[in-house]
Amino acid sequence: MKSLYDPHPKTKINGYPDALIDGWDAIRATLQPQGPTLVFDTYPGVYDEKVKTELKQIPHDVWIDAIDMFKAKETIREQLRYHITDDRIFGRMYYGEIDNFIVPEKRAALQARAKEAAEAGQRVIVYGYGASLIATGTLVYLDMARWEITLRYRNGMANFQEDNFDEDALRKIKRGFFTEWRVADKHKRSLFDSIDYFLDTNDMDHVKMVAGEAVRAGLAQMAHRPFRLVPYFDPGVWGGQWMKDVCNLDPDKENYAWSFDGVPEENSIYLDFGNGYIELPAMDLVLYEPKPLLGASVYSRFGAEFPIRFDFLDTIGGQNLSLQVHPLTEYIHRTFGMAYTQDESYYILDAKDGATVYLGLKEGVDKEQMIADLYAANRGEILFDAEKYINKFPAKKHDHFLIPAGTCHCSGADAMVLEISATPYCFTFKLWDWARVGLDGLPRPVHIDHGKQNIQWDRTTKWVEDNLVNAVYTVREDEHVKEEHTGLHELEYIETRRLWIEDEALVENEDNVNMLNLIEGQMARIESVDGSFEPFEVHYAETFIVPASVKNYKIVNPTDSTIGVIRAYVRKPQA
């Protein structure tokens, strides 16, 4: 049966049927009558020179580049040295402001120039990251998805105010993740209510623009009904073949290793206005509508951050993942400036015979010998004997392996993993990578120095079997639905419930954002109990989000066979 998985989901926005302004000619025609000052503020990663070539065709008397108010690249580099670090992957979270990178005297001079020109009746255009700090006028915000920025880094784009075009892409992504994107999101959030137009420059061959009023209305609608994010898929040295068929991807690609299908910090959203759609970062929704999206209790605990992540790891026809461990909360906070850590689990969506998961330590492991062997293996002196130290469990479809931080783990070959985890995205300490190099030809980063400080040496075979492997019990069961608790461990803040649905099931979300995936069956329908949103159809393996504002909802099975849904939400603190 052909898969119905939609790799390009769009969210229909009501009330703005002709909102999309498509192409540079239409954009210029819309903006030209505005004025006398046009302000184009940008997210770092926009192809500035290409955009400026198009915008400079709008008649103007004075053009001001916001980049001229920033500190020199050498000064910024030194200022961020502590946060960027020398590591390829890990930096330290930067919590500063855009003002920290601006020379006040330079900004004041640009402000004076813009004001003087406007008062003289001249047409002024201010362009670039932070342009809104120089002048007021019609404000256009050039937004971008992080995945597109990542691809641009790989293709040679430099970081903001840098000339590191040829630098290792992982280092450029690290700088974006730990510094640039944090500051840019904070700046963008301060502008949301005053943006007159959002300009989508993800595809330079097809730029689009939508009025700010329509975008804000669209985000508000999304925060009150089920929706999907736009997933992305990427190859890897260990990647498999399962997602090609199920997710309707390019069959000519060598493999697809992993996919983010449920990571608002990384994914984008398509807002469909009827005459076309605009692509925006999904974080725009989190930043602009955090309370209705997350719920009061989750928002009070995490702020405007989405604390649950679903992603795919495909090793069917591929190889083992790296043997790894995630940092403890205290360690990630002290070392990297993160508030919480990457607890996770592996839900086995599918598996071939012989599939396995490595999880926890064997009884009686010699700690010093294991660490010595890991160092020796990564120096190329030996091959690390993983099965001497790590439990290896058979994995079959619908098994659930829980992985609280500090637990050694990895998926073996021939498993399709739905990874359900906390959101921190890059904090994987690889211990052993089976003597491989990455697709870039470079040795994949290994972090034994970090890892050995986080391995919980008491998580051995019996404890793992009792606590982390298929810790399933029934919560409710009747002729309509069987609901099971499948995890996560009590050390983790995420609760997961699996629902086997014959016809329909009522879900009470308790003012708590829900992230779900259809793990069995061709399709399901999400329906409102009060008529507040139209029925929402999902298909096998699709991840979807139900905002906290929805309160209660029904999952309806329109097929003749039982369907299965995995549901994740944030546990409320114990009284």
Cα Rg of the chain (Å, integer) = 25
| pLDDT for residue 264 is more than 70 | yes
The pLDDT score that the predictor gives to residue 574 is: 66
Q: Is 497 helix (H, G, I), strand (E, B) or coil?
A: strand
The pLDDT score that the predictor gives to residue 25 is: 97
The pLDDT score that the predictor gives to residue 35 is: 80
The pLDDT score that the predictor gives to residue 575 is: 54
DSSP calls for 31-74: HTTS-SEEEEEE-TTS-HHHHHHHHTTS--SEEEEGGGGBPPHH
Tokens of 3: 């898969």
Q: What's the rounded Cα separation, in Å, for the pair 42 and 204? A: 14
| pLDDT for residue 169 is more than 80 | yes
Domains of the chain, with CATH numbers? 11-222 (3.40.50), 258-467 (2.60.120.10), 473-570 (2.60.120.10)
Is the distance from CB of 263 to CB of 2 less than 8 angstroms?
no
Is the distance from CB of 498 to CB of 488 less than 8 angstroms?
no
Which pLDDT band holds residue 223 (cuts at 50, 70, 90)? very high
Handedness of CA 545, 549, 552, 554 (dihedral sign): negative
The pLDDT score that the predictor gives to residue 489 is: 86
| pLDDT for residue 142 is more than 70 | yes
- Candidate from 242-246, 266-270, 336-340 with smallest mean pLDDT: 336-340
| pLDDT for residue 8 is more than 80 | yes
Q: Is 434 helix (H, G, I), strand (E, B) or coil?
A: coil
Tokens of 237: 């040295």
Q: What is the pLDDT of residues 432-468, one digit of tens each?
A: 999 987 777 777 889 999 999 999 999 999 999 999 9
Tokens of 89: 């992957």
- Phi, psi dihedrals of residue 329, rounded to the nearest 5°: -60, -45
Tokens of 163: 């000339």
Nearest to 419 by CA among 497, 340, 509, 344: 344
- Exposure b/e, 101-137, CB count within 10 A at least 16 = b: bbeeeebeebbebbeebbeeeebbbbbbbbbbbbbeb
Is the distance from CB of 344 to CB of 326 less than 8 angstroms?
yes
Q: What is the pLDDT of residues 501-559, one digit of tens each?
A: 999 999 998 889 999 999 999 999 999 999 999 999 999 999 999 999 998 999 999 99
Nearest to 71 by CA among 139, 2, 130: 130
- Exposure b/e, 38-47, CB count within 10 A at least 16 = b: bbbbbbbbbe
Per the DSSP assignment, residues forming a β-bridge with 251 are: none
Tokens of 75: 């000064």
Is the distance from CB of 302 to CB of 424 less than 8 angstroms?
no
What does the pLDDT average to over 83-112? 96
| pLDDT for residue 353 is more than 70 | yes
- Angle at which helix 48-55 crosses helix 24-31, to 10 degrees, equals 60
Cis? peptide before 36, omega within 30° of 0: yes
Q: What is the pLDDT of residues 337-351, one digit of tens each?
A: 888 888 999 999 999
| pLDDT for residue 56 is more than 70 | yes
What does the pLDDT average to over 276-304? 96
Tokens of 337: 């400036």
Cβ–Cβ contacts within 10 Å for residue 334, how many? 11
Q: What's the rounded Cα separation, in Å, for the pair 380 and 436? A: 11
